[in-house]
């Protein structure tokens, strides 16, 4: 047995209860046992199909759509080319039916975003919980104060740390109810902290303020707050734009660690220049410089601690500054506070320029890595695709740049992200086009980098990208119906890949290959009849 085949079989065995989708019952029915089945080719065929199915599921888990599709097709082909067809025996027919259902369900779940237009997921921002924490409640113990003083004396600092009751209570929170959260946040910070410190030092900002990102987002680039602040540094849209962070339908640089860190350093430096105090600068970062400035002028306060006693400051800001001080202190010597932290490795990558829309999962396959790692390297991408209207520098694992370039150069057009296009006719506006396709004016404008307010001036013949997210994934109970629609494949049919041409319709394609529109939609997981030129359709036809 080859190493690759052995690996596939092992994967299927390991995933039999879930990823193989057939479950233990199928394994019991289809596994050859003893001399009674030794000469029967049906169990062997089913086992081979199950191996391809398991391999496809493993590819899906890595985000590799191309590899998954190949394995799924091989599994189906084994049944279609079996002697007598997929329904030659009840055992074969049952295994075939379950295989179709498994593929259908997994494709609906994992390939629904195959056009690259589904927005990537966001996570809750840590800052949303800061105002609810009981900072300053109770009296810190003498032991807690002595340990903090010891750490402060032994560790170097470039920010003056205040050891008041509020800061010490935050240390208690980190050691107590927030222990697991703090540990994972500090470990995650290993990806970014070395570079953050470098950037802050170059901008004249204390390197210790790198831990602002821990309190804001737990170092999560995908964090989104209730106030719609985004990224590791939690910029709202306007402030992000003020510091050069591009935001459109394709990218949001508030989630780019390098660019957002540089913007945060500049913003904090500007706030310090305004107030002459780093703690007031932190308050301005959280509460807004205008509000802090008004209360400083009203109260005459010279530092954050006295301002907090006099101003009508929200609890979030009152907690925010001591939480940062406490985070800096604990992060200096986590082992002394009982933490066992293994920092994640700093990200290592190189950039490859990519022209136009290419599915990030395809790039992941070219780079020989998983989708999760590609998204970690390129968190500013809002979609599972590079921008269609420009060149984008994609970060790939260090040492993979050359191979990715070669792979992408050979990428056929049909492997790029598919999207609908629309040519503006006389009298059409973005609003009328949006109504026609059931999408938003703002999405069309952003995807095409045009000003929505200028939509009436679009020239006839202008070609637009029309971003239409696919319908939400239907629940698994629809899978049997989809499978039954394919139940008459039987023997004598062969699978082909048909490339959609301009002007093609489902009716015309169905007639050409002696099938039905319903079957075409079922085989290709189509939720509507609109087709885009260049798309590939799977068709089962009789020769």
- Contact at 8 Å (CB) between 200 and 209? yes
- Contact at 8 Å (CB) between 80 and 540? yes
Q: What is the DSSP string of 340-394?
A: ---PPPPP-EEEEEEES--BHHHHHHHHTS-HHHHHHH-TTBSBSB--TTSEEEE
pLDDT score, position 328? 98
For the entire predicted model, the pTM comes to 0.66
| % the chain with pLDDT above 90 | 51
pLDDT score, position 8? 26
Beta partners for 385? 359
DSSP 395: E
Q: Which two tokens stand for residue 5?
A: 């085949």
Distance, in Å, from the CA atom of 416 to the CA atom of 421, rounded to the nearest integer, reads 14
Which residue's structure tokens are 């020239």? Answer: 459
For the cut 60, the answer to whether the pLDDT of residue 21 exceeds it is: no
Q: Which two tokens stand for residue 377?
A: 């390297």
pLDDT score, position 126? 96
pLDDT score, position 444? 86
For the cut 60, the answer to whether the pLDDT of residue 108 exceeds it is: no
- The residue-averaged pLDDT of 75-98 equals 87
DSSP reduced 3-state for 403: helix
- The residue-averaged pLDDT of 296-310 equals 95
For the cut 60, the answer to whether the pLDDT of residue 3 exceeds it is: no
User: 346 φ, ψ to 5°?
Assistant: -60, 140
Distance, in Å, from the CA atom of 424 to the CA atom of 77, rounded to the nearest integer, reads 43
For the cut 60, the answer to whether the pLDDT of residue 290 exceeds it is: yes
Residue in 509, 505, 504, 502 with CA at minimum distance from that of residue 538: 509
Distances in Å between the Cα of 44 and the Cα atoms of 9, 202, 338 are 12, 65, 56
Quick: pLDDT tens for 138-197: 888 899 999 999 999 999 999 999 999 999 999 999 999 999 999 999 999 999 999 999
Domains and CATH numbers, the chain: 3-110 (no CATH), 123-337 (1.10.530.10), 349-412 (no CATH), 420-466 (3.10.350.10), 493-541 (3.10.350.10)
pLDDT score, position 221? 98
Give the pLDDT band of residue 512 (cuts 50, 70, 90): confident
Beta partners for 499? 536
Of 343 and 72, the structure prediction assigns the larger pLDDT to 343
Distances in Å between the Cα of 53 and the Cα atoms of 107, 361, 520 are 12, 19, 22
Q: Which two tokens stand for residue 447?
A: 């995807």
Give the pLDDT band of residue 80 (cuts 50, 70, 90): confident
- Contact at 8 Å (CB) between 357 and 94? no
pLDDT score, position 489? 38
Give the pLDDT band of residue 490 (cuts 50, 70, 90): very low
Distance, in Å, from the CA atom of 84 to the CA atom of 76, rounded to the nearest integer, reads 15
Task: Please state which of the ranges 84-88, 131-135, 291-295, 434-438 shows the lowest mean pLDDT.
Answer: 434-438
- Contact at 8 Å (CB) between 90 and 451? no
- Contact at 8 Å (CB) between 201 and 211? no
For the cut 60, the answer to whether the pLDDT of residue 111 exceeds it is: no
- The residue-averaged pLDDT of 446-457 equals 74
Distance, in Å, from the CA atom of 461 to the CA atom of 425, rounded to the nearest integer, reads 6
Give the pLDDT band of residue 461 (cuts 50, 70, 90): confident
Quick: pLDDT tens for 364-423: 989 999 989 999 999 999 988 898 878 999 999 999 999 999 999 988 766 666 566 677
**Quick one: three-class SS letters along 4-58?**
HHHHHHHHHHHCCCCCCCCHHHHHHHHCCCHHHHCCCHHHHHHHHHHHHHHHHHH
Cα angle vertex 168, ends 164, 173, to 5°? 150
């Amino acid at each position: 047995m080859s190493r690759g085949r052995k690996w596939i079989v092992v994967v299927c065995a390991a995933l039999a209860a879930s990823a193989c989708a057939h479950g233990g019952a199928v394994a019991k029915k289809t596994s050859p046992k003893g001399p009674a089945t030794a000469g029967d080719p049906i169990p062997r065929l089913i086992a081979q199909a199950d191996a391809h199915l398991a391999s496809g599921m493993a590819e899906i888990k890595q985000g590799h759509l191309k590899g998954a599709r190949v394995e799924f097709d091989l599994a189906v082909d084994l049944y279609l080319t079996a002697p007598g067809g997929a329904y030659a025996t009840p055992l074969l027919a049952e295994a075939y039916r379950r295989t179709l259902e498994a593929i259908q369900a997994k494709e609906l779940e994992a390939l629904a975003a195959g056009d690259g237009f589904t927005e990537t997921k966001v996570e809750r921002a840590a800052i949303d919980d800061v105002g609810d924490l009981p900072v300053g409640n109770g009296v810190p113990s003498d032991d807690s104060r002595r340990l903090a003083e010891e750490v402060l004396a032994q560790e170097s600092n470039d920010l003056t740390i205040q050891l008041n009751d509020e800061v010490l209570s935050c240390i208690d929170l980190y050691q107590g109810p927030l222990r697991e959260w703090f540990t994972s946040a500090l470990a995650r910070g290993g990806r970014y902290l070395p570079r953050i410190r470098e950037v802050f030092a170059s901008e004249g900002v204390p390197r210790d303020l790198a831990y602002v990102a821990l309190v804001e987002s737990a170092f999560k680039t995908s964090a989104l707050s209730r106030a719609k602040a985004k990224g590791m540094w939690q910029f709202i849209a306007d402030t992000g734009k003020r510091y050069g962070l591009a935001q459109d339908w394709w990218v949001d640089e508030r989630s780019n660690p390098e660019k957002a860190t540089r913007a945060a350093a500049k913003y904090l430096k500007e706030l310090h220049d305004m107030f002459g105090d780093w703690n007031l600068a932190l308050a301005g970062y959280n509460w807004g410089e205008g509000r802090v400035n008004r209360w400083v002028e009203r109260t005459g306060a010279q530092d954050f601690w006295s301002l907090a006693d006099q101003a009508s400051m929200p609890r979030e800001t009152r907690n925010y500054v001591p939480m940062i001080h406490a985070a800096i202190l604990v992060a200096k010597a986590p082992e002394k506070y009982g933490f066992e932290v293994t920092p994640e490795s700093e990200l290592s990558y190189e950039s490859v320029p990519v022209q136009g829309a290419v599915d990030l999962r395809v790039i992941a396959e070219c780079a020989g890595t998983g989708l999760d790692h590609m998204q970690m390297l390129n968190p500013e991408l809002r979609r599972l695709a590079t921008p269609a209207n420009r060149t984008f520098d994609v970060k790939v694992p260090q040492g993979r740049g050359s191979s990715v370039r070669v792979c992408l150069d050979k990428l056929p057009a049909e492997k790029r992200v598919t999207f609908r296009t629309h040519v503006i006719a006389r009298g059409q506006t973005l609003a009328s086009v949006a109504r026609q396709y059931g999408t938003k004016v703002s999405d069309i404008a952003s995807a095409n980098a045009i000003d929505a307010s200028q939509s009436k001036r679009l020239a006839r013949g202008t070609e637009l990208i029309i971003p239409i997210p696919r319908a939400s994934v239907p629940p698994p109970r629809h899978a049997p119906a989809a499978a039954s629609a394919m139940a008459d494949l039987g023997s004598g049919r062969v699978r082909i890949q048909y490339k959609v041409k301009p002007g093609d319709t489902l009716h015309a394609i169905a007639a050409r290959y002696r099938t039905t529109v319903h079957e075409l939609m079922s085989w290709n997981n189509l939720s509507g009849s609109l087709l885009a030129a260049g798309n590939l359709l799977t068709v089962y036809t009789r020769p």
